[in-house]
Amino acid sequence: MKKFIITLLLICLGLSFIAMAGVAKQLKFAFMPGIADPFYFTMEKGAKAKAAELGVELIVGEYPKAWGPEYQVPILKALVARGDIDLLFTAPTSVEALIPVLKEISDSGIPVITVDTYIGDGDYTKPSNYNFPLAFIGTDNFLGGEVVAGQLALLLGGKGKVFLENTNPDVSSVMGRELGFRAGLKIFPDMELVGVEYCLDIQETAVAQVGAALQKNPDLAGVFGVNVFSAQGAYQAVVSAGLGGAVKIATWDATETLIEALKRKELNLILAQMPAEIGSLAVEWGFKHLTEGAEIPKKVIPGFFVFTQENVNDPEAQQYIYK
Ligand code: T6T
């Protein structure tokens, strides 16, 4: 009898070892967005789809109601305080202010990928106090800014006064767009940038700032709004001044609001990023890194698509509208 019980125990022990070996631990990734807007909602969708495909559990931090470290950092801290996160990907809302908190998270053993925005100058290959993220995955904002400048110049026949509505001077993405736009305009000696304002990612402020620029410059020929809220604000200001069509409007981020305005020919172009792809790539690279030890390229740069009045109804273009 004793021998039988011992044999039974050994069999049970063996079976539980086999079961444990067969069931790999499910990875848990955390995503901390920059603000509640269609760009990050679409990024979450892309990340969720890839996570489901790979069997990763995706935990999404509460969406900050406004832009800035004061809103993002407390949510980020609460997210990692759960203690069971295997990897974090996030859009830092400031190049400097997010360094200490992300460093602390990385030092605690949670690998960090920055998506959409970066810390420092975004070069994670050289020695610095911000080179600890595994990678930056996001748009080439400088290139996009140059493209927008070129397109706006084409729409204006290469001459005229333009105004740029930006959000925050300490955010890598939008500053890249501004610098690219400035560089792109240099090719056209008769194009003049008459002003730049920062709305802190508040649409009403963008409306007021662009409205004031229109009053100050009655001969303003074009406006560039660099992200969802600055673009929607710029569009609103031009239309409510009765200048829709007369003042050319270049925008960034393909929200349904902007797409509908483009279809009505009330604005001229929209640069669409690939937020779903950015989210999907973050999950895919994080998974490969943790399961196969893959080294992630320090910069992963998906492309972008430019919507115009001519292509906005093309069936192939519809996939670039944020969901
Ligand atoms: O344009 C995106 C994002 O790329 C940027 O970093 C912040 O603004 C958006 O989220 C749009 O509102």
Report DSSP letters for 162-178, one per residue. Answer: EEEEE--TT-HHHHHHH
- 64 DSSP β-pair partners: none
Query: Contact 43/34 with Cβ under 8 angstroms?
Result: no
Regarding the beta carbon of 253 and ligand 1, being less than 6 Å apart is answered yes
Q: Which residues of the chain have pLDDT under 50?
A: 5-22
At 25 the pLDDT is 87
At 3 the pLDDT is 57
In the reported structure, the alpha carbon of residue 93 is separated from the centroid of ligand 1 by a whole-number distance in angstroms of 10
Q: Which CATH number fits domain 141-272: 3.40.50.2300, 3.40.50.2020, 1.10.3720.10, 1.10.10.10?
A: 3.40.50.2300
Regarding the beta carbon of 173 and ligand 1, being less than 6 Å apart is answered yes
286: amino acid identity, one letter: G
The domains spanning 21-137+275-302 and 141-272 adopt the same CATH topology: yes
Residue with tokens 């998506």: 115
DSSP state of 198: E
Residues 6+ apart with CB under 8 A from 257: 232
Query: Contact 137/297 with Cβ under 8 angstroms?
Result: no
At 14 the pLDDT is 45
- 305 DSSP β-pair partners: 272
Each domain of the chain, given as residue ranges in start order, spans 21-137+275-302, 141-272
Query: Contact 236/266 with Cβ under 8 angstroms?
Result: no
At 23 the pLDDT is 57
Q: How far apart are CA 73 and CA 54, in angstroms?
A: 29
Per-residue burial over 134-169, b if 16 or more Cβ lie within 10 Å, else e, is bbbbbbbbbbbbbbbbebbbebbeeebbbbbbbbbe
> Among 193, 261, 199, 251, which residue's Cα sits nearest to residue 221?
193
In the reported structure, the alpha carbon of residue 306 is separated from the centroid of ligand 1 by a whole-number distance in angstroms of 16
At 18 the pLDDT is 41
Determine which residue's CA is closest to atom 12 belonging to ligand 1: 228
Query: Contact 289/296 with Cβ under 8 angstroms?
Result: yes
Q: How far apart are CA 171 and CA 296, in angstroms?
A: 23
pLDDT 10s digits, 13-26? 444 444 444 457 89
User: Which tokens in the block code for residue 196?
Assistant: 């730049």
> Among 196, 207, 268, 197, which residue's Cα sits nearest to residue 236?
207
In the reported structure, the alpha carbon of residue 137 is separated from the centroid of ligand 1 by a whole-number distance in angstroms of 14
Regarding the beta carbon of 38 and ligand 1, being less than 6 Å apart is answered no
Provide the whole-model pTM: 0.93
Q: Which atom of ligand 1 is nearest to the CA of 35?
A: 10
In the reported structure, the alpha carbon of residue 220 is separated from the centroid of ligand 1 by a whole-number distance in angstroms of 25
CATH topology of domain 21-137+275-302: Rossmann fold (3.40.50)
Q: Which atom of ligand 1 is nearest to the CA of 172?
A: 6
Q: How far apart are CA 177 and CA 198, in angstroms?
A: 13
H/E element, 75: helix 69-80
> Among 320, 308, 260, which residue's Cα sits nearest to residue 151?
308
In the reported structure, the alpha carbon of residue 285 is separated from the centroid of ligand 1 by a whole-number distance in angstroms of 22
